[in-house]
Structure 1
Amino acid sequence: MITKEDLHSYVEIERKEIIKRGDDFFQCAELGFCEVQTSKKIIDLLVDWGVPYQKDVALTGIIATIGQENGYHIAVVADMDALPKKDGSGTIHSCGHSIQTTIALTVLKALLDSNVLAQTDCKVSFFFTPAEEFIDFEYRDGLIAQGKVEFRSGKQNMIALGCFDGVDCVLSAHANGEVDTKFDVGSTLAGFMAKKAVFVGRAAHSGVAPHIGRNALHGATLAMSGISFLKDQFAPDKGLRLNPVLAECGGSVNVIPQQTVLETYVRANDNETLLEACEKVDLCLTHCAKALELDCVITNTVGYLPLRQSNKINSIVKENMLQFCSPEEIMENPVSGASGDVGDLSFLIPTVQFGFSGISGRFHDDSFQISDLENCYINAAKVMLGIVYDMVKEKNNRVLTSNYKEKKEEYLSFIRKNS
């Protein structure tokens, strides 16, 4: 009978190779739906290890499954994409997705080498997902227009393709910032909707007859003030974030602006708050325009849903973290204003995403560095392995999805309506 400690020993055997692999993926930074070399590196490893896989899923994604074909189904999910460098010189893994990929491959190899799943009725699928960062809209919208993908996000496309049908739970991990703790458990991620409001007025000569014009910039400015007041209508724990910007001001110094574009994300910690805030923002935009005799055309683009984690699975997560740190080194239930498409999975399937420290510099910045290789690559992988082990070995630890078909239909209807 293989023990959890036996399983961890397979990580130790591969220690040098894991760290080398992590650096290799960190250096291979590619934007969403462009992860060609990253995918090739993953596939080369899967071929070498004799693991069956699907490739080109949602353009560049990969799914590899090991274990019993019809058993309890665990998904280990890892992002692959990177971000543009701020100095414009290329790309960088400044959100740590290369670490996720490395952790997932480490867990896969340990499960494979130990053959522990043969002693269970379970299978584990590894989802290497593209395009988590919500950026590069022109390129992604071009892919949508060509029919190559349906949505801007990798996981959203994988959900629509049915890749997660039959999955019972989702396990994921993500690097956190420069903190004094080693891990975090039970964190939230905000959901968000992207809004674009085009205010349309009437141009006029600003010196000769400004009164016959209708200033679109005034409408957008008034709306920005109104939106700032909306924040006071929501409790702090709702996580509402509204920071509109003027994307286009229009006009020139001697012309009353005929068109002005305001853009904003609406972020919130739960779906109810997100939808309520979106409705109030729309009312603010619309009525500020009407007050100044302007037209306002609002376009919504769905972002990601809030992350809501499984408490039951997170109790297992914490137990496994405590093998590598003290209770004081675990941050519990942190609230984040960031967003991720793992939130969409959590709407459908019991999901966890634990955090691990070991990063210096700032996220989404060229200063990002992996400073604690032990915690990022070794400890985090062992925690993930321990979670899988506890769930496959003890049926009472297993969490099942409910009403998946109905939730998926509701979800796809929502994002198709707002995409």
Structure 2
Amino acid sequence: MEKTVLFDFIDGAKEKIIARGRKFFDCPELGFKEFQTMEMICEELEKWGVPYEKGIAMTGVKATIGKGCGYHIGVVADIDALPGKDGGCIHSCGHSIQTTLALTVLEALVQTNFLEETEGCVTFFFTPAEEFIDFSYRDGLIKEGKLEFRSGKQNMIALGCFDDVDCILSAHANGDRETKFDVGSALAGFLAKKAVFQGKSSHSGAAPHLGRNTLHGAMLTMQAISFLKEQFPPEAGLRLHPVLTETGGDVNQIPGETILETYIRANDRESLFAAEKRFDACVGHCAAALELGWEIKTTAGYLPLRQSDRLNETVKENMLLLCEEKDIVKNPVSGASGDVGDLGSLLPAVQFGFSGIEGRFHSSDFIIREEENCYIRAAKVLAGTIFDLLTQPEKQVYPENFSEKKEQYLSLLRQNQ
């Protein structure tokens, strides 16, 4: 079979694909609440006779096609949305497009019988709760034993869903209006920090000297953090913007407890964990200087995304079948984060970008402007990459030390829950 057979199928189903995309866009649900989305995915799979598992990490779906004795490709699509106006939800990060792309490629592979000509297989993972939000709900599920972690992919990694996968393919909308695709993008990793300063309350007029002002400790720490930022080069992408979430006390009272919270973001693991170490030192030394107690709570976020250069070569080759070199942005750097970075720390992974969006991400003015690029061209890039990986073994990339890396990864998460 030629690759054009897959492309022709996608072109022939264009109207149906776009209608499917609009249907999923109109069904936004928050993470671990995507029950209707899960059922809609399963309805499509049942129409094509594809076996699947559902309810993984609450609302995830997993479907494998192919013989399963050769190279194993994982295609990952997020399915959750974000809060919108008036208590509603909106697909303002493009995850409904990811879901549609995955289903489009899956259908193309099934209906053309391409996998019957190969020894490989493809597993499609529809993953919940990529957006790192709604903590009270998620932490409640963790306490009930229904989940272990706050994100969908983190839970699915722990459940062993990716243990026999050789590589990960994914795609995500970008905000570029001048080009069609990006390749090799970097996503930042992040950790959440909560520093609690403990002091002594006292009357601020009659006896301030008898108190130990925790607000002073937090303010001194914020100043130290502002100096800390200059210790990292621009390419590290360090982002540290602490806020005071609780200041304690009244206007006539020395505050006996103050809470400072922040995300630490960086483009690589070394910078991320170096910044964490120095942040903790800022808190501890500034508190000690004012004879304050302190505690630091660390919650694991996502790891930086490091993409596979070899896989991206194949991705770009397929982009060039659909556009010119000038239409592809190479190696953009983003301050955003995603749990695909966690997968990329364990397996060879790519997440290429596609344009076609208008408005700001994570806002109510987000719209899908160019459906052709979002739903059709992007699907062809994904399908073409799968075709090449399964028909040209020299393009295949395999994981290294997966079990050891997974053990270390889960240990890190569990230490920072």
TM-score by length of 1: 0.99
Alignment of 1:153-232 (within 5 A): 153-232=151-230
Q: Secondary structure at the match of 1:132?
A: coil
Cα offset, 1:178, TM superposition: 3.7
Residues 1:377 and 2:357 aligned together: no
For residues 252 and 184 of structure 1, the distance between their equivalents in structure 2, rounded to whole angstroms, comes to 52
Q: Secondary structure at the match of 2:215?
A: helix
Q: What letter is aligned with 2:62?
A: I
* 8 Å contact from structure 1 (residues 183, 355) kept in 2: yes
2:291 corresponds in structure 1 to: 293
For residues 187 and 72 of structure 1, the distance between their equivalents in structure 2, rounded to whole angstroms, comes to 25
Alignment of 1:3-402 (within 5 A): 3-85=2-84, 87-402=85-400
For residues 191 and 74 of structure 1, the distance between their equivalents in structure 2, rounded to whole angstroms, comes to 24
* 8 Å contact from structure 1 (residues 205, 255) kept in 2: yes
* 8 Å contact from structure 1 (residues 219, 294) kept in 2: yes
For residues 144 and 81 of structure 1, the distance between their equivalents in structure 2, rounded to whole angstroms, comes to 18
Cα offset, 1:42, TM superposition: 0.2
Deviations 1:193-213 (A, max 9, x none): 100001111111111111111
Cα offset, 1:411, TM superposition: 0.6
Query: Deviation above 3 Å: which 4+ runs of structure 1?
Result: none
Structure 1 gaps of 5+ residues are none
Deviations 1:334-356 (A, max 9, x none): 01110000000001000000000
For residues 204 and 159 of structure 1, the distance between their equivalents in structure 2, rounded to whole angstroms, comes to 49
Deviations 1:310-329 (A, max 9, x none): 00000011111112211111
* 8 Å contact from structure 1 (residues 178, 361) kept in 2: no
Q: Secondary structure at the match of 1:262?
A: strand
Structure 2 gaps of 5+ residues are none
Cα offset, 1:89, TM superposition: 3.4
Cα offset, 1:27, TM superposition: 0.7
Deviations 1:251-304 (A, max 9, x none): 111111111110001111111111111000000011111111111110000000
Q: State the superposition RMSD in angstroms.
A: 0.7
Cα offset, 1:41, TM superposition: 0.1
Deviations 1:138-186 (A, max 9, x none): 0000000000000000000000000000100000000001431111000
For residues 88 and 137 of structure 1, the distance between their equivalents in structure 2, rounded to whole angstroms, comes to 19
Q: What letter is aligned with 1:351?
A: A
Q: Is 7-16 or 102-111 further displaced after alignment?
A: 7-16
Deviations 1:201-247 (A, max 9, x none): 11111111111111111111110111111111011111111111111
Q: What letter is aligned with 1:73?
A: H
For residues 98 and 260 of structure 1, the distance between their equivalents in structure 2, rounded to whole angstroms, comes to 40
* 8 Å contact from structure 1 (residues 179, 357) kept in 2: yes
Deviations 1:55-102 (A, max 9, x none): 1111100000000122210000000000001x3330001100000000
Cα offset, 1:25, TM superposition: 0.4
Q: Secondary structure at the match of 1:20?
A: helix
* 8 Å contact from structure 1 (residues 178, 360) kept in 2: no
Q: What letter is aligned with 2:187?
A: L
TM-score by length of 2: 0.99
Same amino acid, percent of matched pairs? 62
* 8 Å contact from structure 1 (residues 186, 334) kept in 2: yes
For residues 71 and 139 of structure 1, the distance between their equivalents in structure 2, rounded to whole angstroms, comes to 40
